[in-house]
Structure 1
Amino acid sequence: MGKNETMRFEHLTILQIRYLTELEQMEKGRGTIGAIAEKCGVKHPTVSRFFKSCIEKEYLTQSLDFTEKGQMMLQRHQKVVRDVRGYLERSGITEGIDDVLKGMVENIDYIRLEELARSHMRVNKGIQMKKEEDGIGEIEELIEYGNHMVAISIMQTDGSGRSMAEHGFEHLGIVKRNKRGCYLELTIKEMHEISRINGRKMTGHLTGLKYLQGDVYKIAGIKNGKVRIPISAFCFRKFNHGMLQGNLMITVSCSVGEAHMPESTARLIFKL
């Protein structure tokens, strides 16, 4: 199998990667599928159907041994999981890291994830900064020209957990610096929530985002499913392990059932 061919492996869920990892480590025999299902907290038929599809795709043999193609497929998935988890840990994302990891691995193109995990650019090396600095000014001048992917977190205002507002955005944002300025671009996505009033499923999109700059809330327009926020609006208070952490208070509103989903205030965080 050529190098380019490995790029065509379909995405697996985190659980499916675990099924295969358990299979790889387990001595094969009667009861193998049942043992894996029990370890992973799922039903026997769920694992059995998945392994059957792997046999059809020639990832596994009838005796549940890995083919060369299957071994390469699993190794790639395992590497992506390790690398993305490492990136999130370096970025200081600890609260709900498994949920963020699951969302990224299952929904974002692997090539983009690999680029993100390798990224360490972003701050111009020619500019020296002291780690003990508590505040940082003129952040735009520190960022290299170009587009830089970042993982975003949207936390409750007190930092106690993840905000529901996070469901309205893709997990990756892009820090862009060009002749027009420097800003963080977020991509909105459809939200799925359950009404607290009648228990019905609701869907919708974010319709508005305001951010707190100084003492004033400013409106960030939504255009073609994108939201742009000036980097100058963020407060950067840490410089650790070569990374800067941006922090911004935001308020978002949703298009569906405002009586059930009122404006939500949260804290938007990302690291460079």
Structure 2
Amino acid sequence: MSENLNGLQIQLLLYFLEAEPKKRTVTDAARYLNKPKSSLTHILDSLDGLALMERVEGRKSVLTAAGKRTAQELLHQRKILEQYMQYQDIPPAQIKENALRALSAGFSDEFMARLAEQEGRMRLKEIFAGHRDFHGGDICNYLKDGSYYFPFIIYREQIKNHNNLSMANRGFENPCELIVKDHEGLIYLAVKTVSAESMSSGKKMEGRVNKMQYLYDGEFRDGGIDGRYVYFPVTALSFIAMGKGRDTLLHGSVCLKMQCSVGDMHMPESTAIFTMFIH
């Protein structure tokens, strides 16, 4: 419904949602929005026709149940848009008008979800900019329940053949998934099958990571396994913030031990550094 509304219809719905009950009148709305009362009366009629508002006794108008849901959705989207624009350094005087224009464009739910995710990343970067030592649990304190996706790299502990990328980097799908619930989070890695030469026979073999441990408080602890996923708590990640402003990069790392399904004789247990980026 909201994608079919024009700017003035949206403004009127939001006004009737947010204004004090005694000021939810066309007269007060016209004064607040600095619009002719006749224009708002016409808009009110159109919203009445869309079953978003209705007239009650005393010639007053109120939001219908559908109108309230639509207005609340628009309010939520407006907040996301305004916060996103703040992080893009849009001048404050232009943010409100630009957000209204964006709402009138009628973005899809999928687009708004992606925008909300990006706004969340920017908010994290602003909160933790300049911090040199924090962990993943601190980040979860600022995230709503849901799934978040971040790129990662798995490095060797030591450079080998002028290359510091671990073979384990090929063993998982990128990005990883951070699932947050009640300000606690788990990092999920989707396991892939990889091909490599056996350390004992030299023959090409295929295997998958089937056990993972993560370093926490100086000791390795077993990660979880859920079907094709392995997971560990985000609190295991030690973060630093690099750069500044919009170019800030949050860099979180943890040491992992991994075992392959073909056995240690062919692919010995390896230790590597998992590094996740929030950019």
Letter in 2 for 1:211: Y
Structure 1 124/151 Cα, relative in aligned 2: closer, same or farther at 3 Å? closer
Whether the 8 Å contact between 2:140 and 2:183 is mirrored in structure 1 is no
Give the fraction of aligned pairs with identical amino acids, expressed as a percent.
23
2:130 aligns with 132
- Structure 2 matches for 1:109-128, cutoff 5 A? 120-123=118-121, 125=123
> Normalising by structure 1, what TM-score?
0.52
Displacement of 1:197 after TM fit? 3.2
Whichever residue aligns with residue 236 of structure 2, its letter is A
Deviation at 1:184, TM superposition (A): 1.1
Say if 2:199 and 2:265, in contact at 8 Å, map to a contact too: no
Structure whose alpha-carbon radius of gyration is higher: 2
1:236 to 231, 236, 239: 239
- Tell me if structure 1 keeps the 8 A contact 2:157–2:271: yes
Q: Post-superposition shift, 1:222?
A: 1.4
TM-superposed CA distance for 1:245, in Å, is 1.2
Question: 1:139 aligns to what SS in structure 2?
Answer: helix
The 3-state SS of whatever aligns with 1:199 is coil
1:249 corresponds to 2:255: yes
Aligned twin of 1:168: 171
Contact kept? 1:124, 1:142, Cα under 8 Å: no
Cα 1:207–1:129 change in 2 (3 A) is: same
User: Which residue is equivalent to 1:261?
Assistant: 267
Equivalent residue, structure 2, for 1:157: 157
| Letter in structure 1 aligned against 2:149 | M
8 Å contact 1:122–1:148 — kept in the other structure? no
Q: Distance in 1 between matches of 2:122 and 2:182?
A: 17
Residue 254 of structure 1 and its aligned partner are, at CA, apart by 0.4
**2:193 aligned with 1:187, yes or no?**
no
| Structure 1 residue identity aligned to 2:134 | I
Aligned length: 159
* Distance in 2 of aligned mates of 1:117 and 1:139: 19
Please give the secondary structure, in 1, of the residue aligned with 2:127.
coil
| Residue 141, structure 1, aligned to residue 141, structure 2 | yes
* 1: CA distance, partners of 2:197 / 2:180: 38
Shift of 1:119: 5.8
Query: Secondary structure of the equivalent of 2:169?
Result: helix
Contact 1:148–1:174 under 8 Å retained in 2: yes
Contiguous gaps of at least 5 residues in structure 1: 1-111
Q: What's the TM-score once normalised by structure 2's chain length?
A: 0.51
Q: Which residue of structure 2 lines up, in the alignment, with residue 217 of structure 1?
A: 220
Structure 1 pair 174–117 and aligned structure 2 pair: CA distance change class (3 A): farther
More helix by share: 2
Equivalence for 1:197: 200
Whose relative contact order is higher, 1 or 2, with alpha carbons under 8 Å and at least 6 apart? 2
Secondary structure of the corresponding residue to residue 123 of structure 2: coil
Over 3 Å counting, the alpha-carbon distance change for 1:199 and 1:126 in structure 2 is: closer
Does the 8 A contact of 1:116 with 1:149 survive in 2?
no
Going by fraction, where is strand more abundant, 1 or 2?
Answer: 2
Q: By how many angstroms is 1:130 displaced?
A: 5.5
User: Aligned partner of 1:191: which letter?
Assistant: V
Deviation for aligned residue 1:243: 3.3
Deviation, structure 1 residue 131: 2.9
Residue 143 of structure 1: how far off its partner (Å): 2.9
C-alpha distance in structure 2 between counterparts of 1:152 and 1:116, whole Å = 19
| CA 1:189–1:269: 2 relative to 1, 3 Å | same
Aligned AA (2:267): M
Write the distance in 2 (CA, Å) between the matches of 1:126 and 1:165.
28
Cα distance change of structure 1 residues 190 and 200 upon mapping to structure 2, 3 Å threshold: same
Q: Distance in 2 between matches of 1:224 and 1:270?
A: 22
CA distance in 1, matches of 2:264, 2:215: 22
Q: Which residue identity is paired with 2:251?
A: Q
Q: CA deviation at 1:122?
A: 3.7
